[in-house]
Amino acid sequence: MIQFAAPRFAAALCAPLFLAFALNAAAGPKEVEKEFERGAMAHRMQDYKTAYGIWLALAEKGQVDAQYNVARMLLNGDGAAQNPAKAAAWFRKAADQGDRDSRHILATMYLRGEGVVASETEANRLFAQNRQQHHAHHDHEQWQKWQRQLAEMNQETQARLASR
């Protein structure tokens, strides 16, 4: 009877899988960005199936912009069969990561009962989350400072143009 050295045999079988997983996990932001842009290029070229496939792979890994794009494509039937229920699920994933556009579209879908069971309560909750997120990021003093700087820059530009 032939006996395999179980640890070495298992290691030999698992090494390629481990390497593939490690390389995939090591894909940093630059690689993800490149892949996302590849999907965007395919979409611009109206190769919707390719764009959908690229973005779906990224969306499944949690990339929020890809989740939004996959949801839009499913909602519109671009590159994949139109499926409002799946679109809503992807909008939900992106919304749960804080994507305001996804949250807004999902709220609208709840109002219309599109791909989800109509729920004015859920729609209002999502709209309220967007308002809270907006106000959390809204810094009135900073906005006023930028407005003053913009006005000063505009005055300087106008003065330079007048002196010519």
Has this prediction a pTM greater than 0.85?
Answer: no
C-alpha–C-alpha distance, residues 143 and 159, integer Å = 24
Rg (CA), the chain: 24
Q: Look up the domain containing 156 and give its range.
A: 6-162
Q: Are 131 and 139 in contact (CB under 8 A)?
A: no
Full pLDDT tens readout for the chain, 164 residues:
444 344 444 444 444 444 444 444 445 889 999 999 999 999 999 999 999 999 999 999 999 999 999 999 999 999 999 999 999 999 999 999 999 999 999 999 999 999 999 999 999 999 999 888 875 555 556 656 767 777 777 677 677 678 77
Is position 1 within any domain?
A: no
Q: CATH number of the domain that 149 lies in? A: 1.25.40.10
Is position 17 within any domain?
A: yes
Is position 124 within any domain?
A: yes
Q: Give which of 80, 134, 77 is closest to 104, Cα–Cα.
A: 134
Q: How many domains does the chain have?
A: 1
